[in-house]
Amino acid sequence: MRACGEPSGALTPSLVADIRRVFEAQRATALRLRTSTLKERIGKLERLRASLVAHREQILQATAEDLGRPAAETDLAELVPLLADLAEHRRHLGAWLRPRRVRATALLFGTRAWVRREPRGRCLILSPWNYPIVLALGPLIPAVACGNTVILKTSEFAPHSSAVVAKIVHEVFEEHEVALFEGDASVAGELLTLPFDHLFFTGAPAIGKVVMAAAAKHLASVTLELGGKSPVIIDENADLELAVKTLAWTKFLNAGQTCIAPDHVYVHAAVHDKVLELFKRRLDAWYGGAHALEARDFGRIVNERHTQRLICLLEDARARGAQLPYGGEADLARRFIAPTLLTEVPDEAHIMQEEIFGPLLPLIPYQSLDAVIDRINGAPKPLAMYLWTRNRSSAQRVIERTSAGGTCINHAAAQFLHHNLPFGGVNHSGIGSYHGEWGIRTFSHERAVLEAKLMLARMFFPPYGRRVQRLSALLRRWLS
């Protein structure tokens, strides 16, 4: 199903007209939704939950067709987080939206003040293809909960999943409140010309710059959920078995096409060889080693272009001297890249310069933790960082001396599931955050309200004679 009856593809004059018609229709709705009740908003979230549950089988089929993904991965990585987020919003939305009283400061004695969260207005959500359900509907939850209208643009690279999301949105919402448009980059480009009040984008940093530039033209607020090369550190004191199991799962989930997946692993030289062998054994057990192409629990790359990009990264690394102690097989026509481990990868290799976003994992031995910290600080700030250690002082040293969107100690990717934590990047890996109450903060404006009960300011009205000067001096002494 396509929004407004348009096929998925390039921008057409009729689609431009539809986009502008819906955007204009959402203006009146955005004004009306400012006074929508908590019950009304929770009711919409409940209808979204029911539709999501009702379409589970279609979602599983769609993600299998788009990404070759096993059903268990879609359940765990997309449906479970969405249902958990909906439950949190139903339970806590009243408290999150309740006006918050703030105490009067010394200078404003005689006033009362509070902060109220109000909807930003008309919002645009641009979602990616790698997790086409949770990264489309996840931001939609707080946007609707805050009382905004939304236009949602899904990715053309996951057409089956996009069609299911469109069906859910069409069933739950009227288009003057939430509308969905499909199509290629030209459709997104048209949407970015419109004066939305807030833009929410998930995707690559290069496109994030385009979105931010578009927002600047209308002085719109923006949330950018980007990516980057998320590093892992495994020291000599770590629980190596648990570290390898967890990292192998989170790295090769969705065939490595995860923004918070481990990108490369710094392993203490004393345990490097053991960690390598543990990875080999784990990948053999889970994905069948040389038979990974037939493994039911291992996904596919989204399209041939992205598959070719990963093949080029492999070929470049090998040409520069990198070793492949495990994996390396590729089948372009079947969009397959085997789970692959790389060692002895030179810094100048392209795989060490750009986000991998696939099932390729470089292992890098180290002797000095300070040297690893320097390397991390020499690169753009990552979306995630993972530390495996039993030494709390080492973990604290890394956290204090580096910057990242989020960090797990002796875990990986769990920060995405913890909805009492903000999820987002920093600088190159993103701007802003969401999940739980943090999503409410993102999609609402915190409006300051002050009411005067006792107007002491009248003592300072002009003319500024000796009385005002004496009072001003008294205030300065009191506050000094």
Give me the active site residues, please: 225, 259
Cis check: omega of the bond before 463, within 30 degrees of 0:
yes
Among 219, 260, 290, 475, residue whose Cα is nearest residue 355: 260
Dihedral, 194, 52, 157, 313 alpha carbons, nearest 10: 110
